[in-house]
Structure 1
């Protein structure tokens, strides 16, 4: 039987040597790998390694579990390789490393599988079906692909204890999480805050960035340009461009780049009402609005820093009372680009990450006028 693991100790003066034989171009590596796996399996090498280590000398390795309702893919192979390297290293250092495999049994992947099986569509349908019955259906399929996982983990040469696996749906596991959270709480390490995350109105649940990006694609969307009337000059407006017009009722601020130059131009066709005759736009973006602005007449120019602090009339009256707390004003945003739109960004902090952090910095209170199903309330 060939030797599958070679260990050598070199003195500082020794040159490294090639301990492995030369392989011809026709060598069948898959067959060699399978022979190694068979040897490990027949000789119970992994089990023997675990049994010979001193369990008083432990190295804890936490294996973030995959969803058992999905088949292993390339990303799992990459992560699994790293999860094999680290425990092997510490095992060779003389430590006992458990290497328990785990299964993530909670969350949208298993729920989505059950929804397909039961022909349900969305959270309201699940409630009508019965949450208890739905949970039981989730438990029943949670290890649907465990066999495929076992084959893949073994074939990639990873050592993992799949006989003593853990499942996040087990009461003892959930209780351990609650215990850990309470310890953090007791130490004052937990605080309540807000964060903008991807959200599914159909599932009425937040999504991970990975889930949100799985079917990501570029699409053509309407991008209206909106006039925001300045309080300091009622015949002037700031032009802001947005690709999410449905968030305009939630507008609480406008962002400019303090280092950009903004120019005031006359409107070619002023609106019949409101008295607005001039509009501010980033100089580099003015040509894109030649049909709306007389870009041959620069009435005034200002750095973005000079516009910061200007207040404006809310588009809608819903949150006008927030103006007293500092909303509906121009703020600074280093994320404002000179290559898109008007160089002035409409800010709806409940619906955009940049918006959220910029408004939070300015102490502008967040408002979210939508319910769990994404209807305006």
Structure 2
């Protein structure tokens, strides 16, 4: 490396006598980066560099890019810088390879982030508050809020050098976008790629909605105490006629099922108890006159849970399937859903019933 800091000096080529031109223009020793940034941004705008980087590539070498859209109802943060730089890498690389890369920007206008922001503005705290305010009026406020910080996002996008078409974006609440989603589902259905199934989904009791995979990834489970608990679920006395006689539900003594769970925070939404249809369960009576109660427990765990109570009956799990019980909390969003005992092979017969 040369000890000097200036550009290479012009030199005589020795043959023609013409001086060589320095390969680079002089580089200033004192750089004002904010000014440089503005000069580069102005150059891109004046020469329409992004548009030309797309239009001047061959039409038969298309590499399409649709941005995973941000939600613009809040100011962009430092995490958006990292995300937008990453988003720019592949389209820019493919452009440098000679591909024609149209880059469609988008805005996400759905989801809890939008709704929670509007709830805070309106002073709403529950789903019932939203219903009292009016669903249509609430949705209108949400639509108005989603583009509140678009200008800030566009400025950030330009300054970090993320080339994306934000002049003609897709918007997730537009009818055309929604219809496109339904069209895709129809194609999947026609190709027999859709199926119906059941799965356990984390649920937010405050918002009364399921948590998305992104919300789960925020780490709620790491911050949630995870004790196992044993809970009484009282059998519905009004269903005595449909209950096996061996359970003696009709004689007025409160009868409950002892259920064990490792996820007690799900109990507000409980609508089912699982038993092993092939296992044996004991009906035990505790207390004296006026304080009697009966508990149904997995028979192998009877001594550990209740000591040596009076056992009135032993019944297979299959006879418990279909019994109705009282919910622990007011029905709320689950009103109209009957809590039932269900048969599940996954339940261990050496365990209590699992909620």
Maintained 8 Å contact 2:272/2:341: no
Maintained 8 Å contact 1:57/1:96: yes
> Normalization by structure 1: what TM-score?
0.57
Query: 1:135 Cα shift?
Result: 1.7
Q: Distance in 2 between matches of 1:66 and 1:74?
A: 13
Q: If you compute each CA radius of gyration, which structure gives the higher value, 1 or 2?
A: 2
Q: Which residue of structure 2 aligns with residue 363 of structure 1?
A: none
Query: 1:93 Cα shift?
Result: 2.6
Q: Which residue of structure 1 aligns with residue 162 of structure 2?
A: 158
Q: Which of residues 46, 70, 75 in structure 2 aligns to 1:71?
A: 75
Q: Which of residues 195, 206, 213 in structure 2 aligns to 1:209?
A: 213
- For residues 207-252 of structure 1, the C-alpha deviation after alignment (integer angstroms, 9 at most, x for no partner) is 223324547363557644689xxxxxxxxxx996735286488442
Q: Which residue of structure 2 aligns with residue 169 of structure 1?
A: 173
Query: 1:78 Cα shift?
Result: 2.8
Query: 1:70 Cα shift?
Result: 2.8
Q: Which of residues 31, 41, 46 in structure 1 aligns to 2:45?
A: 41
- For residues 79-122 of structure 1, the C-alpha deviation after alignment (integer angstroms, 9 at most, x for no partner) is 32222111112222322212121001111111122222222232
Q: Which residue of structure 2 aligns with residue 144 of structure 1?
A: 148
Q: Which of residues 252, 262, 270 in structure 2 aligns to 1:242?
A: 262
Q: Which of residues 232, 248, 252 in structure 1 aligns to 2:274?
A: 252
Maintained 8 Å contact 1:70/1:109: no
Maintained 8 Å contact 1:100/1:161: yes
Q: Which residue of structure 1 aligns with residue 136 of structure 2?
A: 132
Change (3 A) 1:243 1:178: closer
Query: 1:265 Cα shift?
Result: 11
Q: Distance in 1 between matches of 2:96 and 2:348?
A: 62
Q: Distance in 2 between matches of 1:88 and 1:55?
A: 17
SS in 2 for 1:158: coil
Maintained 8 Å contact 2:259/2:354: no
1:200 aligns with 2:236: no
Task: Flag structure 2 segments of 5+ consecutive residues without an equivalent.
Answer: 1-22, 233-257, 277-299, 326-338
Maintained 8 Å contact 2:203/2:211: yes
Change (3 A) 1:267 1:175: closer
1:218 aligns with 2:240: no
Q: Which residue of structure 1 aligns with residue 63 of structure 2?
A: 59
Q: Which residue of structure 2 aligns with residue 273 of structure 1?
A: 309
Query: 1:328 Cα shift?
Result: 4.9
Task: Flag structure 1 segments of 5+ consecutive residues without an equivalent.
Answer: 1-18, 228-237, 255-263, 276-309, 332-343, 349-377
Q: Distance in 1 between matches of 2:111 and 2:262?
A: 33
Q: Distance in 2 between matches of 1:269 and 1:87?
A: 63
Q: Which of residues 329, 334, 338 in structure 1 aligns to 2:348?
A: 329
Q: Which residue of structure 1 aligns with residue 332 of structure 2?
A: none
Coordinate RMSD, CA, aligned? 4.3
SS in 2 for 1:102: strand
Q: Distance in 2 between matches of 1:77 and 1:175?
A: 31
Query: 1:50 Cα shift?
Result: 2.6
